[in-house]
Copies of this chain bind each other. A is one copy, B any other.
Amino acid sequence: MATIRDIAKKMGLSVSTVSRALNDNQRISIDTRKRVKKMAQELGYQPNYNARNLTNQEANAVGVVFPVNNRVVDNIFYVGLLRGINEELISKNYVLSVAIGNSTEQVLENVKSMITRAQIKRFILLYSHINDPVIELLRKQPVTFVTIGKPAAGQKWLYVDNNNVRAGADGTHFLMKRFHVSNPIFAESPNGWPYELDRREGYLREMAQKNRKPVIFAVPDEDEHQLDQLIKENPQMDGVVATDDYTGLKIYHRFKVLHPDKEIEVVGYNKSLPNELTDQHFHSVDLHPKEMGQAAVQLLFENCTETRLKHTIVEHSI
């Protein structure tokens, strides 16, 4: 592999000049810069990241942290985020390092090692939980981090999120406007995730504005019977806004079994189902994970002042 020393020798320049030229240092004449770069190209020069990182006392890597426990459904979202993150990192000549484990301790050790041994100074967390030990750690260290999902009330750090209230309202509006649904119900998990609360709020607002009576289904994980009961108790329902695609699909199927000849329109979130499992009555709000990943990287590299912590809201679409 050619090094800057090789370029220097070949051109009768010093190593320092070559280094500066390649880094576009103003102090080197434009002409020299051009010539050096051309020669670098010719020799197939590739910078040695390890050497650079050693001198810089900082790795050209972003640590991407996965949550310890996640629902199967979320994995699709994570891979979308990875795509966006890496696309943005490539153009910055940065590398994507993953921290993933089966216990909090494991992930915590992983992240610590990234900070102290690998000298990584920038992190993206694919989640945003309250009282998360990784977040606690990162706040104390001289590093920058961005979470996917907003912090709990009272907490403050860089994050990327969707506008879930609006996503809830838009999903509801979509069913009413496009498919003339009159009585959409709102279905959520029993877990009360922050994004669910927001989407529910959006649904409630939209229903209030249209003078319709809202109905909330808390869909149990296992108990099919209870779900059937809910469906039977609400003969008026002709649409479903579900906090995620899985919940939506589940209701859709039970509804079809109970009312084989009634039509119903469903909208879920995340585009997490393959075509094989859906049809033209099933819709999904795209939260654009790739764009969220890209936004996270951009946020991570903006040198924001500590006083005004920023965030980015990524648009959704149906």
Report if A262 contacts B (CB, 8 A): no
Point out the residues of chain B lying under 8 angstroms from A302, CB to CB. none
**Contact, CB under 8 Å: A50 / B260:** no
Report if A14 contacts B (CB, 8 A): no
Report if A195 contacts B (CB, 8 A): no
Q: How many residues of A are in contact with the other chain, CB < 8 A?
A: 63
Point out the residues of chain B lying under 8 angstroms from A66, CB to CB. 79, 82
Report if A116 contacts B (CB, 8 A): yes
A64-107, CB < 8 A from B: 64, 66, 70-73, 75-76, 78-79, 82-83, 86-87, 90, 93, 95-102, 106
Q: How many copies does the complex hold?
A: 2
**Contact, CB under 8 Å: A276 / B50:** no
Task: Write out, one digit per residue, whether chain A residues 191-214 have a CB within 8 A of any chain B CB (1) or not (0).
Answer: 000000000000000000000000
Complex Cα gap A276–B75 (Å) = 16
Point out the residues of chain B lying under 8 angstroms from A153, CB to CB. none
Residue of B nearest to A64 (CB): B98
Question: A118-B95, A246-B276, A275-B222 in contact; A54/B59 too (CB < 8 A)?
Answer: no
**Contact, CB under 8 Å: B86 / A117:** no
**Contact, CB under 8 Å: B86 / A119:** no
- Which of B49, B93, B100 contacts A82 (CB under 8 A)? B100
Task: Write out, one digit per residue, whether chain A residues 223-266 have a CB within 8 A of any chain B CB (1) or not (0).
Answer: 01000000000000000000000110110010011001000000
Question: Besides the contacts A48-B117, A72-B76, A253-B253, what 4 more A-B pairs have beta carbons closer than 8 Å?
Answer: A72-B273, A75-B75, A97-B97, A250-B276
